[in-house]
């Protein structure tokens, strides 16, 4: 029963007194959260058991008709006691209403009629009570509801009659502080809104600004009610009470179905009676349905995109996503057009936002197992690819794909609106799934809607340029390979549509980032991102390479960097640069800029720019960049690009024009070789030994070896042909000659600089053994310092610079045609052949005047490489056959003899360890076998044809040219006491070289032949290393070859008496035969013993020896 005023006042006083003691606060909190508290009553019934009575009493009080309570109670009764005769007559409708009934019984119809004016207020309360969490309350109120409305279709008709009022009241109750009210309201709304149309919900237009919703009774439009329902639903799903959440789930299913139904234009309110409608009426109905669907979609999509996907509750977000996907499936492109751009951006952001957090945890753990990001075990990349596959096969990805497919049917303005949203998602996305989805969206739109990327304005306002920049930086920061590949793919597709100046700026910045990510700033990820960016541009937007701007960016900067990048230490990065070189070089418009006489190789067409980039790399502080430049120079040399141009066999035009083209091409190659060789030599003589310096030696030797044959000053034919001859009024030769072979310039590194003498003098004056670099000698050429390191340029990528960034400082670029004489100022002089040989030798032998090695043991690989380079350099000189030669007048042989005289003392000291050279530190300590073997190889390479020939004037032979002494040195080195097989092999091969080049006079001596044959005998005893045995048989084969073949001896009778040259050669062969005949048995024995060797090469040489000796007498 309802409490009186006195009882209410007493209760309030009691509550206030309890609150002072802390009891009232707890009781109020329990009431707010709906916790049952005992309030007394019959048989100690709780509040939940009295819920039906409380609801009916509240309904009666809301009507200001307390007497209605008895009517409600009468309609809700189910107990049999109320149907007994006494009770029935006392509480029937006639007695309560004061009217006589014809039936004389309980007249419920009259009660219904009496309550009909109050249904608008009663229905919300009754529906809420019918969904009360208490079972008894639900049962009693369900009976009351049936009694009032009749249930079924009649009840739904009553609800429809008061639908808007009912929904508005239930929406308010759905946000009530009482959890029981929230449970009932959500349950009631879930039943009420089923199957409703846009008109039934209030009609009206679409709600664009959902932040300013004003509810004013019946004037509230359907869009506002729909958004209010969504707010109530999301709040219920995130409620603290489980009963409210369960009721909210039912409401979520209903509101999802309602929203999708409202957005479906194929749904009509009277679909069951379409057969009775005319075509015009049906068409009108369809148009109205489409209009209502467009309004509903415009309202729902905006809210779902803006708020639904950002809900803190996972269940609420899932419901919103499910509804969003359903709308996308049923809606038409025209319906989605107003919100499609924002929808695409939100779906891209949701790719990572809705991903399970456990996957992020696993990804972080995988990254922790590989802190350097090298991907050794591949766990990080495998997990990343798995996550991307899950995201791309999910429902969000399907909806995103459908939205992107719709873009082609949209207007151009709508297409352009989506670009800033993708850019924002790419920049703000927290997960790589979002960034990968954004990259895929860019690739798709580039193919389907290329016009959408055509914007005007500067880089700060051009959305395409901003997106291009965002893709590059995102790919640079991305750690996983899968997402990075997607971004570079999208970047290449977008570059085809972006302004050419912006793409060129991006390409130059990528090249600078690649160059700066080496050395102490080593960043493999940045190098790979830069290479991948340019590779994507070269492959997917090759048309950009055809226009390099006013500064010719692609040929001057990108392609030279790509040529060096092919030598990157990371094979993956090198393969990317290889694609840039091949694809970009094929697309670059070079034919219009270069002369046809410059060959068909891209390397030669870009030679000036390649030379400039190589010089920059060689002067860089990064060792890895220097090594890459050296490898690139070796490739250019092997392709004969840094070599004399091939002479034309015939002229296609006039002889003068053809010669002019040939001279121009030859001069250009000589210019390039001169700059590169001088730069390499200056780095070689520096004191510091760094990792990869051996490659520098190899590159220098390769370049010098290609031009060594043309470096003789006495050979006027080559110099005149190349226009290298002395110019009128000048004493010196042209400065672009790559290398010079001149007797008497042992102290010159660059022709005329007297560098070695100046260095030694400076070291002596300072009385110290510190490293003397070229900068410390005034007479020497200056070399850029290698200890200072440039700070990386971390400035923001500014696309407004356009092509001005190509004018950076760097090594001078050779003139493309090199016609002007001013180009000579770029060259500092010609490297001398002897100076290069001396520099290589001093890199191996530390001396008191110039200690070039801080630690001999640590620099052993470099010392060996220097000796190997010296050997290859000496072999590049022309070797003449063993015919009649003027040993005293031939300038080539004289120069070889000059080099041998300068190099032999130090090399022999290294071999024997005597340390007799006054300029060397004591070498009596045992040298490593590798150094000894390479020294023997260098000594053999320095020998010239006719070594050991006595001087015609004095009749004497220099001690280092004594063939007998040399043969004894080689015999000792390949003897049984020598443990190193490399030394034994090198000694036998050097002895073979001596036997092939030595003059016959000392070679025929018994001591010489005995020593050489003993060398072969010692090597034949080595059963472990077949290379040693092979070297010994090569020596024996060389000896017997000096005798000649049987045909040469049998043709002596046919030689005319006046052919003096041939007669002398025949006589020399006869004398050599006579000298070897005493050793014939020994030679045959050694050769036959080797016929059964396991190595095929050894048996082949032994067979040749037996065949040559077979005709001997």
| Confidence band for 109, pLDDT divided at 50, 70 and 90 | low
Segment 136-150, tens digit of pLDDT: 778 777 877 887 787
Rounded CA gap, 469 and 477, in Å?
Answer: 13
Element holding 226 (H helix, E strand): helix 222-237
pLDDT of residue 960: 87
- What integer pLDDT is reported at residue 850 of this predicted model? 44
What are the Cα distances from residue 1035, in Å, to 235, 985, 987, 1094? 97, 11, 10, 19
pLDDT over threshold 60, residue 12: yes
Ramachandran assignment for 756, one of left (phi > 0), alpha (psi -120 to 50 degrees), beta (any other): alpha
* CB atoms inside a 10 Å sphere around CB 62: 14
At 925, list the tokens. 């300590």
**What pLDDT is stored for residue 742 in this prediction?**
83
pLDDT of residue 77: 53
Q: Is the pLDDT of residue 79 over 90?
A: no
Residue 809 is predicted with a pLDDT of 38
Buried b (16+ CB within 10 A) or exposed e, 122-136: bbbbbbbbbbbbbee
More confident of the two residues 179 and 41: 179
- Residue pLDDT, tens place only, 527-571: 988 999 999 999 998 888 888 777 888 888 999 999 999 999 889
**Percentage above 70 pLDDT, the chain:** 72
Residue 826 has pLDDT above 80, yes or no: no
Q: Is the pLDDT of residue 29 over 80?
A: no
Q: Give me the pLDDT at residue 1010, please.
A: 92
CA dist., res. 996 & res. 930, Å (int): 24
CA distance 103 to 91: 15
Which has the higher per-residue pLDDT, 688 or 790?
688
Predicted local distance difference test score (pLDDT) of residue 689: 85
**Residue 203, pLDDT score:** 86
Whole-angstrom distance, CA of residue 91 vs CA of residue 82: 8
- Calculate mean pLDDT across residues 42-66: 56
Comparing C-alpha atoms, which of 751, 623, 583, 746 is closest to residue 678? Answer: 751
Least trusted range by pLDDT, from 172-186, 359-373, 792-806, 1018-1032: 792-806
User: What is each CA distance from 451 to 408, 419, 447, 542, in whole angstroms?
Assistant: 10, 11, 10, 19
Between the alpha carbon of residue 175 and those of residues 180, 211, 611, the distances in Å are 11, 18, 77
Q: What is the spatial distance between Cα 647 and Cα 662, in angstroms, rounded to a whole number? A: 7
Identify the pLDDT of residue 788.
39
CA dist list (Å): 417 to 7, 460, 764: 67, 16, 76
Given this model, what pLDDT does residue 311 score?
86
165: tokens are 């009022």
Is residue 494 over pLDDT 90?
yes
> DSSP 3-state assignment of 484?
helix
DSSP codes, 526-547: HHHHHHHHHHHHHHH-GGGGG-
Residue 668 — pLDDT band, cuts 50, 70, 90?
Answer: confident
Note the pLDDT of residue 708.
Answer: 87
- Return the higher-pLDDT residue of 975 and 176: 176
Which stretch of 155-159, 275-279, 392-396 has the lowest confidence by average pLDDT?
A: 275-279
The whole-number average pLDDT for the span 800-804 is 46
Q: 394, 396, 395, 421: which is closest to 407 by C-alpha?
A: 421
pLDDT at 444: 92
Q: Which helix (H) or strand (E) holds 832?
A: strand 831-832
H helix or E strand, kind and range, residue 740: strand 739-740
pLDDT exceeds 70 at position 587: yes
- For residue 814, what pLDDT is reported? 42
Closest CA to 442 of 411, 404, 414: 404
Task: Quote the DSSP letter at residue 556.
Answer: I
Tokens of 239: 């409620």
Q: Quick one: pLDDT at residue 380?
A: 75
Residue 797 has pLDDT above 60, yes or no: no
| Phi and psi based region of residue 640 (left: phi greater than 0; alpha: psi -120 to 50; beta: remaining) | left
Least confident of 58-67, 643-652, 802-811, 831-840: 802-811
| Cα of 1011 vs its chain's centroid, Å | 62
* pLDDT tens digits for range 351-396: 887 777 777 777 777 776 665 544 445 677 788 888 888 888 888 8
- Per-residue pLDDT, 1073: 87
Cβ neighbours, 10 Å, residue 215:
12
Number of helices (H), then strands (E), belonging to the chain: the values are 51, 2
Query: Which tokens in the block code for residue 494?
Result: 């977008």
Least confident of 77-91, 641-655, 736-750: 77-91
Residue 19 has what pLDDT?
44
For residue 44, what pLDDT is reported?
44
Instruction: Give the model's confidence band at 769: pLDDT under 50 very low, under 70 low, under 90 confident, else very high.
Output: very low
Please determine, for residue 796, whether its predicted confidence score (pLDDT) is greater than 70: no
d(CA 990, CA 986): 6
List the single range of 30-39, 64-73, 80-89, 580-589 with lowest mean pLDDT.
Answer: 30-39
Give the mean model confidence (pLDDT) for residues 297-313: 87
pTM of the model: 0.76
Name the most confidently modeled range: 207-211, 492-496, 657-661: 492-496
* pLDDT tens digits, one per residue of 671-718: 899 899 999 999 998 878 888 899 999 999 999 999 888 877 655 555
- Give me the pLDDT at residue 724, please: 55
Q: Residues with Cβ < 8 Å from 500, sequence gap 6 or more? A: 544, 547, 549
pLDDT in tens, 878-890: 655 544 555 556 7
Confidence band, pLDDT 50/70/90 cuts, at residue 103: very low
| 87 vs 1036, higher pLDDT | 1036
Short-list 254, 357, 341, 339, CA closest to 301: 339
State yes or no: pLDDT of 614 exceeds 90: yes
Nearest to 401 by CA among 412, 411, 391, 387: 391
What mean pLDDT is reported for the chain?
A: 77
CA dihedral sign, ordered 946, 952, 958, 963: positive
Between 508 and 430, the higher pLDDT residue:
508
Query: Residues 97, 110: contact at Cβ < 8 Å?
Result: yes
Question: What pLDDT score does 622 carry?
Answer: 87
pLDDT at 467: 92
Of 708, 684, 678, 686, the C-alpha closest to 696 is 684
More confident residue, 491 or 724: 491
Tens of pLDDT, residues 314-353: 889 889 988 988 998 888 888 888 888 888 988 898 888 7
Q: What is the reported pLDDT for 759?
A: 83
Predicted local confidence at residue 999, as pLDDT = 87
SS3 885: coil
């Amino acid at each position: 029963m309802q409490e009186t005023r006195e009882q209410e006042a007493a209760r309030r006083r009691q509550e206030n007194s309890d609150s002072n003691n802390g009891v009232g606060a707890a009781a109020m909190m329990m009431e707010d959260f709906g916790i049952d508290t005992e309030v007394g009553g019959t048989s100690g019934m709780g509040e939940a058991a009295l819920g039906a009575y409380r609801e009916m009493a509240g309904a009666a009080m809301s009507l200001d008709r307390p007497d209605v309570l008895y009517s409600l109670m009468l309609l809700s009764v189910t107990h049999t006691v109320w149907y007994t005769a006494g009770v029935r007559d006392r509480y029937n409708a006639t007695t309560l209403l004061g009217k006589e009934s014809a039936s004389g019984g309980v007249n419920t119809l009259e009660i219904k009629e009496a309550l009909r004016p109050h249904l608008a207020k009663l229905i919300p309360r009754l529906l809420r009570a019918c969904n009360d969490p208490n079972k008894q309350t639900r049962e009693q109120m369900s009976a009351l509801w049936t009694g009032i409305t009749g249930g079924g279709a009649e009840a739904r008709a009553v609800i429809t009659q008061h639908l808007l009022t009912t929904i508005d009241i239930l929406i308010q109750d759905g946000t009530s502080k009482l959890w029981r009210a929230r449970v009932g309201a959500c349950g009631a709304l879930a039943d009420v809104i089923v199957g409703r149309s846009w008109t039934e919900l209030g009609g009206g237009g679409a709600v664009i600004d959902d932040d300013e919703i004003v509810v004013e009774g019946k004037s509230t439009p359907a869009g506002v009610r729909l958004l209010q329902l969504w707010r109530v639903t999301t709040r219920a799903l995130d409620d603290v009470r489980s009963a409210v959440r369960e009721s909210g789930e039912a409401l979520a299913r209903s509101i999802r179905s309602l929203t999708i139904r409202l957005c479906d234009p194929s749904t009509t309110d009277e679909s069951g009676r379409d057969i009775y409608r005319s075509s015009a009426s049906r068409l009108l109905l369809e148009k109205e349905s489409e209009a209502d669907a467009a309004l509903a979609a415009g309202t729902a999509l905006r809210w779902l995109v803006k708020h639904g996907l950002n809900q803190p509750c996972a269940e609420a977000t899932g419901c919103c996503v499910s509804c969003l996907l359903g709308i996308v499936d049923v809606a038409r492109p025209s319906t989605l057009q107003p919100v499609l751009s924002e929808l695409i951006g939100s779906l891209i952001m949701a790719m990572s936002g809705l991903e399970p957090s456990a996957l992020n945890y696993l990804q972080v753990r995988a990254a922790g197992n590989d802190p350097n990001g090298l991907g050794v075990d591949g766990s990080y990349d495998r997990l990343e690819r798995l996550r991307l596959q899950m995201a791309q096969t999910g429902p969000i990805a399907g909806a995103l794909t459908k939205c992107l497919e719709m873009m082609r049917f949209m207007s151009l303005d709508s297409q352009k609106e989506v670009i800033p949203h993708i850019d924002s998602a790419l920049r703000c996305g927290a997960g790589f799934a979002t960034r990968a989805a954004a990259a895929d969206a860019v690739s798709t739109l580039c193919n389907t809607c290329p016009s959408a990327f055509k914007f005007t304005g500067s880089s700060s306002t051009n959305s395409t340029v901003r997106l291009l920049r965002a893709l590059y930086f995102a790919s640079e920061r991305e750690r996983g390979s899968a997402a990075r590949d997607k971004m570079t793919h999208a970047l290449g597709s977008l570059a085809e549509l972006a302004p050419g100046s912006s793409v060129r700026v991006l390409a130059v910045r990528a090249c600078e980032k690649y160059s700066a990510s080496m050395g102490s700033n080593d960043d493999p990820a940045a190098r790979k991102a830069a290479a991948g960016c340019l590779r994507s541009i070269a492959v997917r937007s090759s048309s950009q390479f055809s226009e390099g701007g006013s500064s010719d960016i692609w040929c001057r900067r990108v392609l030279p960097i790509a040529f060096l990048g092919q030598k990157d230490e990371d094979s993956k990065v090198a393969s990317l640069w290889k694609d840039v070189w091949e694809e970009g070089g094929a697309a670059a418009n070079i034919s219009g800029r270069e002369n046809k006489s410059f060959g068909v190789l891209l390397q030669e067409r870009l030679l000036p720019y390649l030379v400039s980039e190589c010089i920059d790399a060689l002067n860089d502080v990064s060792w890895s960049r220097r090594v890459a430049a050296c490898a690139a120079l070796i490739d250019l040399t092997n392709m004969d690009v840094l070599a004399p141009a091939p002479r034309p066999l015939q002229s296609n035009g006039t002889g003068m024009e053809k010669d002019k083209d040939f001279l121009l091409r030859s001069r250009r190659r000589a210019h390039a070789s001169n700059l590169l060789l001088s730069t390499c030599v200056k780095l070689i003589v520096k004191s510091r030994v760094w990792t990869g310096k051996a490659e520098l030696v190899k590159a220098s030797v390769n370049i010098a070896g290609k031009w060594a044959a043309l470096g003789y000053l006495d050979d006027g034919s080559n110099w005149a042909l190349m226009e290298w001859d002395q110019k009128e009024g000048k004493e010196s030769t042209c400065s672009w000659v790559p290398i010079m072979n001149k007797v008497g310039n042992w102290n010159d590194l660059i022709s005329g600089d007297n560098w070695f003498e100046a260095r030694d003098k400076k070291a002596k004056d300072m009385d110290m053994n510190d490293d003397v670099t070229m900068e410390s000698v005034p007479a020497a050429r200056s070399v850029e310092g290698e200890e200072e390191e440039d700070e990386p340029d971390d400035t923001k990528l500014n696309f407004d610079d356009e092509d001005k960034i190509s004018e950076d400082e760097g090594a001078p670029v050779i003139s493309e045609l090199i016609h002007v004489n001013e180009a000579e100022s770029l060259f500092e002089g010609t490297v001398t052949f002897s100076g290069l040989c001396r520099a290589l030798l001093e890199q191996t032998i530390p001396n008191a005047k110039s200690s070039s090695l801080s630690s001999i043991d640590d620099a052993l690989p470099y010392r060996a490489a220097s000796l190997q380079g010296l050997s290859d350099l000496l072999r590049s000189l022309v070797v003449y056959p063993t015919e009649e030669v003027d040993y005293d007048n031939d300038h080539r042989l004289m120069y070889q003899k000059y080099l041998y005289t300068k190099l032999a003392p130090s090399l022999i000291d290294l071999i024997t360890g005597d340390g007799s050279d006054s300029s060397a530190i004591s070498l009596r300590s045992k040298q490593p076998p590798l150094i000894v073997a390479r020294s023997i190889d260098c000594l053999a390479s320095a020998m010239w044809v006719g070594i050991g020939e006595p001087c015609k004037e004095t009749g004497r032979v220099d001690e280092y040219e004594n063939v007998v002494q040399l043969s004894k040195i080689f015999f000792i080195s390949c003897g049984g006491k020598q443990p190193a097989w490399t030394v034994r092999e090198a000694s036998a091969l050097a002895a073979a070289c001596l036997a092939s080049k030595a003059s016959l006079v000392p070679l025929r001596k018994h001591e010489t032949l005995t020593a050489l044959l003993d060398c072969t005998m010692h090597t034949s005893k080595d059963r472990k290393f077949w290379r040693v045995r092979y070297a010994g048989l090569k020596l024996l084969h060389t000896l017997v070859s000096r005798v000649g073949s049987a045909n040469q001896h049998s043709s002596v009778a046919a030689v005319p008496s006046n052919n003096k040259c041939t007669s002398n050669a025949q006589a020399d062969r006869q004398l050599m035969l006579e000298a070897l005949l005493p050793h014939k048995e020994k030679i045959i024995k050694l050769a036959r013993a080797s016929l059964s060797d396991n190595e095929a090469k050894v048996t082949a040489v032994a067979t040749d020896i037996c065949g040559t000796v077979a005709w001997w007498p």
